[in-house]
Amino acid sequence: MHAATTPARPRPRRRLRSIAAAAVLAAGAIAPAVTASTAHAAPLREVMFVGNNWEGTADVIKSSGDFGGIGRINVVPDKSQRLTAIYLNPINLAVFLGIRATAGEGHDQLVDDLYSTPDGSALVASRPSFGDVVSIDLATGKVRWRFAVSGYRADHMSLSPDGTKVAVSASLGKVVHVLDITTGKQLGSFATGDKPHENIFTRDGRYILNMSIGNVETDFDDPSQDWTKGDRHITVADASTYKVVKTIDMRSRLDAFGRKDLSNAIRPAVLSPDESKLYFQVSFFNGLVEYDMATDKITRVRTLPKNPATSDDRTTFVNDSRHHGLSMSPDGSRLCVAGTMDDYATVVNRSTLQEGPLVTASKPYWATVSGDGRACVISESGADQVTAIDFGTGQKITSVPVGDHPQRVRLAHVPATWTGTTG
């Protein structure tokens, strides 16, 4: 246990001076689900969407306070139709069963990432096992539109700062599709490394970053077999032309810091408020990395505690993730880390990189920030609940039950009058 310290005052924001700096900035600049300035035809309510991956539903909960449940959305109202199409296509069926046997841990992956439309009338979600992105009408529970991705598997998404575009990884197609969130029309696409994963828009909306994580479904996890994991790098694309303008491979930066043992597959990442530092997790590692944008160098690596009950056998880590989930308090003084395989979450002092109390959690898979900025909210995929942790004290606030195997948690908006189950 460690005592929490007084949050540091954020430093003034600095202007970006290069595409490289912009690229690293973007890795932490996760856009809000809907901007405050968006004009709406009807009053909206800020909420959190919780994607229940194995169940195919999304819980809608309060974005702060007691985080109480508001309603539930069926994200697979067309399940019978989709399964019929899959079973009639041998290639699609092979991928579908492969996802179940590997990344799905014996389950179908029915909802990964999810956001709301600007007017709050629909949920837009990526569905890995169905290989698509869909828009679900919150009033009727029906599919408004569907977009099938390249390669039969959809993964992480990111929303543009103005809330009008969503970028989705086609993890088997080595491409990112950018869609109009209202119509589902493809606006553009760009090529990536192997197994594109996280997508993030820069705060000005000018660039999209994609982080390819390579082959995480194999058991070739020993460092000597790293070459089998494929091409892993950050791809920076222009968000207007969708042309790739830069790629960044952390391999050489980690090597220069003396950490050749660490993977260059970047998982969750977050940027400091003054845009000077990027913090990220990598495959197999129980800890986090600090990267300085101005010098283009790794500056600190922090190893966090292991759970004595957790095996060090890398082949037992779910999809190569020992720790998967990272967020930062709005003032930049605290990081919140989801220790996935070590069954805890902890708030880390950004100045010292010293962890606070280890909050017991069952396979925490994501970390985000509450609507009021006071808490870190993690998804406990092993306990079917989300848990809020106070950024200031590092102590647990509350846990709220949700559906089967929650993963992504995103701030969103729904009509102020919406209170019930959809579908």
Q: What are the pLDDT digits (tens) for 89-99?
A: 999 999 999 99
Counting the structural domains of the chain, the total is: 1
User: Using the 8-state DSSP alphabet, how is residue 73 labeled?
Assistant: E
6 domain-assigned: no
Average pLDDT rounded to a whole number, residues 36-56:
82
Q: Tokens standing for 405?
A: 């195997």
Cα–Cα distance for residue pair 183/164, rounded to 1 Å = 10
Give me the pLDDT at residue 78, please: 98
Q: Flag whether pLDDT at 27 surpasses 60.
A: no
Cα–Cα distance for residue pair 217/219, rounded to 1 Å = 7
Bridge partner residues of 380 (DSSP): 364, 385
Q: Which amino acid is located at 152 in the chain?
A: Y
- Arithmetic mean of pLDDT over the chain: 90
Residue whose C-alpha is closest to residue 171's, from 155, 159, 157, 148: 155
211 domain-assigned: yes
Q: Flag whether pLDDT at 263 surpasses 50.
A: yes
Domain containing 252: what range?
Answer: 19-415
Q: What is the CATH number of the domain that holds 405?
A: 2.130.10.10
Instruction: Read off the pLDDT band of 6 (50, 70, 90).
Output: very low
2 domain-assigned: no
Give me the pLDDT at residue 202, please: 84
1 domain-assigned: no
Q: What are the pLDDT digits (tens) for 127-169?
A: 999 999 999 999 999 999 999 999 999 999 999 999 999 999 9
Residue whose C-alpha is closest to residue 195's, from 169, 219, 221, 218: 169
Helix, strand and coil in the chain, % to nearest 5: 10, 40, 50
Residues 6+ apart with CB under 8 A from 160: 31, 166, 167, 201, 205, 239
355 domain-assigned: yes
5 domain-assigned: no
366 domain-assigned: yes
Q: Flag whether pLDDT at 82 surpasses 50.
A: yes
